[in-house]
Structure 1
Amino acid sequence: MGLFFVLAAIMLYAVASRAFLGQPVNWALEMSQFVLSAYYLLGGAYAMQMGSHVRMDLIYGARTPRTRAMIDAFTILFVIFYLGVVIAGGLSSTEYALTYGQKNYTSWAPPMWPIKMVMTLGVFLVLLQALSNLCKDIALLRGTPIGQPSIDRNPAA
């Protein structure tokens, strides 16, 4: 949540600099994009942990917790595969940015490795949470739930 306040401060500074000083800053838009990317990707694992991501409730919501665990255990395998491919690409891209000192093609020209590293870390955290959810779903299917299952956040339902 702290990154949201950093984003707001960057945008406030950019507006104030342009309005009151007459001097626009060339780094504000790009920096706000970097901060928003980090906010989004680092928050992905938390959203998955809390079960607050979007689901197709039309089919999914009417099922029993065991059936939902089966659906989740099957579909999370595709998510894990996808995240593994994204991490491999992220590691390769981050290594390239570090090795060759890659900079963005703008007038500010910031180095790209910090945001690439943060993005790869964010995807890795989502992968860890996906593996955790898979373990919880398998445990629920075996009849020995671990903690609170990822598919049933509302036990009263």
Structure 2
Amino acid sequence: MKRLLSLATGIDRLNKGFGILAAVVVAVACAISAGNALSRYLFDLSSNAFLEIQWQLFAATFLLGAAYVLKLNEHVRVDLIYGALGQRKKLWVDVFGYLVFFFPVMFIMLEMAWPWAWASFRAGEGSANAGGLPVWPAKFLLPIGFTLLTLQGIAEFIRRIAALRGDIALDLSYEKPVQ
């Protein structure tokens, strides 16, 4: 179990790096958006590339940052029952959720996304708009993002199993103290 927990820690580090990258991408997207607005209103200049890079960076923000959000236990959830459960029951619900929902969905997404992105890359797919950008890099964000999310799911699953075995303590509360 120690090796698996070390693997989980390595996955955490990897996804923290991508989480930081996603935060930087947000800043870049904001700068491009502001620059595009300024150039449009001040100089009457615009480009499809400016618009396309914004949605591509928006996709990068979510797809590269999702795994880190899962690591932080900050993902959106609607729970009517989970919050009232004890720690051990929460662990079992999580294990069940990962096995029955999370991993099968990730498998399907990866099985669909990798060939789709690869075909786009091989074709050198570009935008249909004049002055647009290549599309294949944005399409590759999907399988990369789901790969990172799957890896983080594996790390979280390992931690749940270790906590059920009593090897580690795991705080599953997601309520933040009011400051």
Structure 1: state its 5+ residue gaps.
none
Alignment of 1:75 onto 2:97 = yes
Match of 1:142 among 147, 165, 168: 165
Q: Distance in 1 between matches of 2:90 and 2:165?
A: 13
Residues 91-128 of structure 1: per-residue CA shift (max 9 Å, x gap): 10111012111122222332222112222211111100
Match of 1:64 among 79, 86, 92: 86
What letter is aligned with 1:99?
Answer: R
Alignment of 1:43 onto 2:78 = no
Match of 1:94 among 113, 117, 137: 117
3-state SS of paired residue (1:58): coil
Residues 122-149 of structure 1: per-residue CA shift (max 9 Å, x gap): 111110001111111111122222xx63
Alignment of 1:151 onto 2:152 = no
TM-score, normalised via structure 1 length: 0.89
Residues 56-80 of structure 1: per-residue CA shift (max 9 Å, x gap): 3321011111100100000112111
Alignment of 1:132 onto 2:155 = yes
Is the 1:103–1:111 Cα contact (8 Å) retained in structure 2?
yes
Q: Distance in 2 between matches of 1:133 and 1:31?
A: 33
Q: Which residue of 1 aligns with 2:45?
A: 23
3-state SS of paired residue (1:27): helix
Structure 1 runs (4+) deviating above 3 angstroms are none
Aligned residues between the structures: 153
Q: Which moved more, 1:112-121 or 1:87-96?
A: 112-121
Q: Distance in 1 between matches of 2:153 and 2:40?
A: 44
Is the 2:60–2:141 Cα contact (8 Å) retained in structure 1?
yes
Q: Distance in 1 between matches of 2:47 and 2:32?
A: 10
Residues 20-71 of structure 1: per-residue CA shift (max 9 Å, x gap): 1111222222110000000011110011000001223321011111100100
Q: Which residue of 2 aligns with 1:116?
A: 139
Query: Quick one: higher RCO (CA 8 Å, sep 6+), 1 or 2?
Result: 2
TM-score, normalised via structure 2 length: 0.79
